[in-house]
Amino acid sequence: MKFIISSGVLQKSLSSISGVLISNPVVPILENFLLELDKGRLVASASDLQISMTTSISVDTDVPGKIAIPAKILLDTLKNLPEQPISFSVNIDDSMTEITSYKGTYKLGGELATDFPNIPVATGDNRITVSSDLLLDAISNTLFSVGKDEMRPAMTGVFLKLEKDKLTFVATDANRLVKYVRNDVNNEVEATMIIPKKAMQLLKASLPSNPTEVEIQFSDSNAFFSFNQTTMACRLIDEKYPDYDSAIPLNNDKRLSVSRTELLSSLKRLIIYANKSNYQIRYTMQQDVLTISAEDTDFANEAQEQIIAEYEGRDMEVGFNATFMIDALTNMVGDEIELNFSDPNRACIIVPREKTPEENILMLVMPVMINSTINDSFDGSDEESEDEEEEVNEENEE
């Protein structure tokens, strides 16, 4: 098994799929790339059993064959070689690979390709095509809100709902929620799926910056994303996603319009003075002004700022974990945003003031109790906070 390829091209292609690899895998062969030659194409694959990525490159050969090569040593070698044609010679019998460059020869031991796990292949007609720009926007706007609690596996992924001419992406960790809807798609397929967070992270990192068509195929257990010469297959999370719409409060009669950048900058300053156990910041809303304040009584630190804002409704005070609010504002689009409230103990809904017909985004952040103790945390450490989170979780589970 022999082929010639550019060192730079091979290094770039292998790097694009190397994010799948994990340290100390349960199955040692998963530390390898699977290289397959067939009809002048080199197909490279990486897998962690749950997610697989494959990329193909044109090479100078017509001799078929395949081998599993240690990923780290191969990538490190390529990264330290100057751009040049290099030749690979693989002895299938003993799995030894010899790499020859202008100035040297490098030998590394591999493993039998037959020991590498099978890479899933897309089958069936369940498929849609979307722009890479759309997919990148959807991932960027939802990924930060994905949960980490393995006891709630459904929340550890991004929920994708396909409807006629509409895609809905949802992420939540029970303390915050993002609902991102795109109406500018040509879709005839209806389905739902939960895509793992790692798969979305890999997709975000590997999608090209220039607009490219991405084909999404799916079955009951797997989803496949194909673009350019790359395909990612991931096992879907087989759980029922919470009823997120029931967690979004209705009849929000209090509205605060404010500059997103100004509020974000202010929060980044005030969080320095907030208690480090819950990062609580108090919002006092009155006509034409928003006062935000933070304090840490353990160290006698406190800070307060005022921001010019438009407020409709009776005066109200509410507390939020500043880190969650900063995450939401950082990922929100536009300069002017609107915060909608019903009561101090109900979720705040954040939306951009300027909306477009093709895109609809809504972010939700749960409040914290203002009159809380120092050890009170956003997920509820006093009785009232626990009751509040329980109420939200019950709504999600319904």
Is there a single domain that holds both residue 270 and residue 236?
Answer: no
Would you state the pLDDT for residue 303? 97
Q: Which of 193, 225, 241 is the last residue of a domain?
A: 241
What is the per-residue burial (b if ≥16 Cβ within 10 Å, else e) of 215-228? ebbbeeebbbbbbe
Q: What is the CATH number of the domain that holds 378?
A: 3.10.150.10
Would you state the pLDDT for residue 370? 79
Q: Which of 192, 226, 241 is the last residue of a domain?
A: 241
pLDDT at 379 over 50: no
**Mean of the per-residue pLDDT values for the chain?**
90
Is there a single domain that holds both residue 393 and residue 249?
Answer: yes
Residue 121 falls within a domain, yes or no? no
Please state the rounded mean pLDDT for residues 366-395. Answer: 48
Rounded Cα distance between 324 and 347, Å, is 12
How far is residue 338 CA from its own chain's centroid?
25
pLDDT at 20 over 60: yes
Domain count within the chain? 3
Residue 120 falls within a domain, yes or no? no
Is there a single domain that holds both residue 389 and residue 250?
Answer: yes
Residue 223 falls within a domain, yes or no? yes
Is there a single domain that holds both residue 234 and residue 265?
Answer: no
Is there a single domain that holds both residue 208 and residue 307?
Answer: no
Rg for the chain (alpha carbons), in Å? Answer: 25
Tens of pLDDT along 249-306? 988 999 999 999 999 999 999 999 999 999 999 999 999 999 999 999 999 999 999 9
Percent of the chain predicted with pLDDT > 90:
81
Residue 212 falls within a domain, yes or no? yes
Higher pLDDT, 364 or 397: 364
Is there a single domain that holds both residue 251 and residue 145?
Answer: no
Residue 62: what are its φ and ψ, rounded to 5°? Answer: -125, 10
Q: Which domain holds residue 269?
A: 245-397
Is there a single domain that holds both residue 142 and residue 95?
Answer: no
> Six-digit token pair at 378?
């956003």
Would you state the pLDDT for residue 371? 54
Rounded Cα distance between 296 and 251, Å, is 34
Higher pLDDT, 191 or 378: 191
Tens of pLDDT along 211-220? 999 999 999 9
Is there a single domain that holds both residue 251 and residue 383?
Answer: yes
Would you state the pLDDT for residue 52? 98
Please state the rounded mean pLDDT for residues 49-71. Answer: 92
Residue 299 falls within a domain, yes or no? yes
Rounded Cα distance between 392 and 116, Å, is 44
- The answer to whether 35 and 67 are in contact (CB under 8 A) is yes
Tell me which of 36-40, 110-114, 373-377 is least confident.
373-377
Residue 163 falls within a domain, yes or no? yes
Is there a single domain that holds both residue 282 and residue 232?
Answer: no
Is there a single domain that holds both residue 198 and residue 211?
Answer: yes
pLDDT at 373 over 70: no
- Other CB atoms within a 10 A radius of the CB of residue 64 amount to 10
